[in-house]
Structure 1
Amino acid sequence: MTEMAVTQSEREKMAAGAWYCCVDPELDQLRNHARKAVHQHNSMLPDARGSMAPALSALFAGVAEDAFVEAPFHCAYGMNITLGARVYLNAGCTILDTAPVVIGSDTMLGPSVQIYCAEHHKDPALRRKGLEIARPVTIGENVWIGGGAIILAGVTIGDGAIVGAGAVVTRDVPAGATVVGSPARVLR
């Protein structure tokens, strides 16, 4: 007897860290749902929004009650984002959360910090077909990320680390380290 191959959806492939096609109706629907929550957050008056618009808070995988997200903010799906206690995201932050993004307690992101979990295929023909792979980003507790920094897919930033403004973080940052530059390097 022959076993039938189990076909995974593009969402399942994305969640499993496998190559998937980002041009997919189910993923389009999830991104559209996130756009609506982001729009609510970004268009509400600050007094009505509070620390985070209700739709955005409901979208996230997990969010501490005292986490704060300034507007404007953008995310791809939201469902992969977890914010710890007293996390602060300044204005203009973008999180392309095709994989889990976990930000630990007491961590602050400066204005326009960008976190990218997706890596597009290096082969141009496969890239044109929408193939990408998602790698998680983990940011520890008590981390400071300066304005305009970019955190790339698969990076882990240890507790107490500092990422200088404008740094492009392409590899893990040890706990307590300070990194600057592009690509980011540890200050001695």
Structure 2
Amino acid sequence: MTVPQRVLDVMHSPGIYFCDDPEMEAAQKEQLNLLYDFNATRPGDPKRREIGERLFAEYGEGVYLEPPVHANWGCSTHFGAHSYANFNLTLVDDGEIFIGEYTMIGPNVTLVTTGHPIRPDLRERVAQFSEPIHIGRNVWIGANVTVLPGVTIGDNAVIGACSLVTKDVPANSVAVGAPARVIREINEHDREYYWRDRRIPDDI
């Protein structure tokens, strides 16, 4: 089955909703079965792309995801062309996640679109809300980063390892920390040096 539009509309709309809908539960179970099949494929198996195109909202040309991938749904996540994620990418994708072309995601990264009300009685009723995450083109997200609901990360930005991204990060900047803060813009030094004092070879 494909995920019913009514279910997607509920999850992708602003505001509180409840996760005790039988139609939602059945659709999610089907998505999780697809995810299981995706993770069970061997390297180079063409079925991985076939399953990925069914599982995710968008699975662009040249996308490579290193299994295992963990996702609440899959159908709310858009992978732009030539994007890459190392192992243990976790997608709490009840809300939509947009990942731009050529973006690189390190291991053990978690992208969280969903939260729950502080009020205890609403949590008992499985209430939640979801806000989309937008990750631009050619972004590099380091290992063990967590991105929270509603965050936008601009094109070419770099997020340092182990950062907790709670607010938007502008394009062409480097952000690190918990919570993540912009520490500098990408600059001319980065054109010459790839890491610390190590110069990029002239023939590259």
Question: TM-score, normalised to structure 2's length?
Answer: 0.83
- Three-state SS of the structure 2 residue aligned to 1:33 is helix
| Distance in 2, Cα, partners of 1:49 & 1:126 | 44
Shift of 1:55: 2.0
Question: 2:187: which partner in 1?
Answer: none
Question: 2:189: which partner in 1?
Answer: none
Unaligned runs of 5+ in 1: 1-8
- Three-state SS of the structure 2 residue aligned to 1:147 is coil
The percent identity for this pair of structures is 36
Matches within 5 A, 1:92-103: 92-103=88-99
Question: 2:45: which partner in 1?
Answer: 48
Paired residues of 1:155 and 1:172 also in contact (CA < 8 A): yes
In our comparison, the structure showing a higher alpha carbon Rg is 2
| Distance in 2, Cα, partners of 1:45 & 1:86 | 20
Question: 2:134: which partner in 1?
Answer: 138
Question: 2:107: which partner in 1?
Answer: 111
Question: 2:76: which partner in 1?
Answer: 80
Question: 1:179: which partner in 2?
Answer: 175
Question: 1:125: which partner in 2?
Answer: 121
| Distance in 1, Cα, partners of 2:117 & 2:10 | 15
Which whole-Å deviations, capped at 9, do the CAs of 1:45-78 have from their partners, x for residues lacking one?
113257x342232121111121111100011111
Which whole-Å deviations, capped at 9, do the CAs of 1:121-179 have from their partners, x for residues lacking one?
11011111111111000000010000110010000000010011110100100001111
Question: TM-score, normalised to structure 1's length?
Answer: 0.90
Paired residues of 1:42 and 1:73 also in contact (CA < 8 A): yes
| Distance in 2, Cα, partners of 1:87 & 1:19 | 31
Which whole-Å deviations, capped at 9, do the CAs of 1:61-100 have from their partners, x for residues lacking one?
1111211111000111111111111100110001111111
Shift of 1:11: 4.9
Paired residues of 2:160 and 2:176 also in contact (CA < 8 A): yes
Question: 1:166: which partner in 2?
Answer: 162
Unaligned runs of 5+ in 2: 1-5, 185-204
How many residues of Structure 1 are paired with residues of Structure 2 in the alignment?
179
| Distance in 2, Cα, partners of 1:131 & 1:101 | 20
**Does 2:35 match 1:31?**
no
The residue type equivalent to 2:135 in the other structure is: I
Paired residues of 2:83 and 2:102 also in contact (CA < 8 A): yes
| Distance in 2, Cα, partners of 1:47 & 1:158 | 32
The CA RMSD measured in Å over matched residues stands at 1.5
**Does 2:22 match 1:22?**
no
